[in-house]
Amino acid sequence: MAFNSKNPFLSNKRFSSNAVSRAEEVHEAKIIDYNQEMTLSGTINKTAILFLILCGSAMVTWWMAFNGMNIMIPAIGGAIVGFVLVLISAFKPHLSPYLAPGYALFEGLFIGGISAIFEAMYPGIVINAVGATLVTFLVCLGLYKFRIVKVTEQFKSVVIAATLAIATYYLISWIVSMFINYQPVHHGNSMMSIGISIFVIVIAALNLFLDFDQIEKGVEQRMPKFMEWYGAMGLMVTLVWLYIEFLRLLSKFASRD
């Protein structure tokens, strides 16, 4: 059975047997043997490595911000480079062992910068957002592990549709705001804006179930070792998205006080 993409967000999670087959065809001289297969423990270890790299990188722009330095260039540059690395990895999964650490490094610069900005505006918001992200991750992992939430085809279809709708809405809002004086409805701290943020957070959390399912199926189908980095990178993308949305939501609540 083909292992097709289950999460369209940023198109970075193209966990497919076809993608792997193409990568193996290009690298026939480096055939993966049975001792070089994707494992769950390997994916967990690589996710931890990426998380540590991201945190270390984030501390750089965080330190710069609170020492009066300009963080806009490294933060924006990090976001752009991180996005480019995700796109490359989507089409070249066999390069994930090199691209995934690079993504964590550059995305960390962005995360550190945006976190410092929010923290300066609303003291204490970062630790709350980190805590909320961690709790959400653990709850989703527990629900998936004990099969309380089952990732069915219908479940996947609903999450994919909602994720695409959010991405399309954000893109259109951004483009329109560039040409006219327009404030998207998800901006500000109105109840509608808060409701939209909560909805987006729910969808981001549901994407975690798709990540878990992709990784589990990758292990079952004995995919090549480099797919551990690919799976870890996809999981990190979802966690970063979730963290940013928690920052946005908590800032809306704080601004209403």
15 — pLDDT class (breaks 50, 70, 90): low
Distances (CA, A) of 136 to 111, 131, 184, 205: 18, 8, 27, 7
* pLDDT tens track for 25-64: 444 444 444 558 999 999 999 999 999 999 999 999 999 9
Q: Which residues, in sequence order, are bridge partners of residue 224?
A: 37
181 — pLDDT class (breaks 50, 70, 90): confident
Q: Specify whether the CB–CB gap between 108 and 56 falls below 8 A.
A: yes
Give me the residue label for tokens 């480099």: 226
Candidate from 16-30, 90-104, 162-176 with smallest mean pLDDT: 16-30
* pLDDT tens track for 61-80: 999 999 999 999 999 999 99
Burial of 93 (C-beta count, 10 Å sphere; 0-12/13-18/19+):
buried
Evaluate if residue 206 carries a pLDDT over 50: yes
Please report the pLDDT score of residue 185 as a whole number: 82
Cβ neighbours of residue 114 closer than 8 Å, sequence gap 6 or more: 75, 244, 247
Tokens found for residue 191: 């109840």
Please report the pLDDT score of residue 19 as a whole number: 46
Torsion-angle region of 112 (φ positive above 0: left; ψ -120 to 50: alpha; else: beta)? alpha
Please report the pLDDT score of residue 2 as a whole number: 37
Evaluate if residue 188 carries a pLDDT over 80: yes
183 — pLDDT class (breaks 50, 70, 90): confident
Q: What is this structure's pTM?
A: 0.87
∠ Cα 90 223 237 (to 5°): 35
Please report the pLDDT score of residue 196 as a whole number: 95
Average pLDDT of the chain to the nearest whole number: 88
SS3 sequence of the chain: CCCCCCCCHHHCCCCCHHHHHHHHHHCHHHCCCHHHECCHHHHHHHHHHHHHHHHHHHHHHHHHHCCCCCCHHHHHHHHHHHHHHHHHHHHCHHHHHHHHHHHHHHHHHHHHHHHHHHHHHCCCHHHHHHHHHHHHHHHHHHHHHCCCCCCCHHHHHHHHHHHHHHHHHHHHHHHHHHHCCCCCCCCCCCHHHHHHHHHHHHHHHHHHHHHHHHHHHHHHCCCECCHHHHHHHHHHHHHHHHHHHHHHHHHHHHHHC
Q: Could you tell me which residue, 178 or 210, shows the higher pLDDT?
A: 210
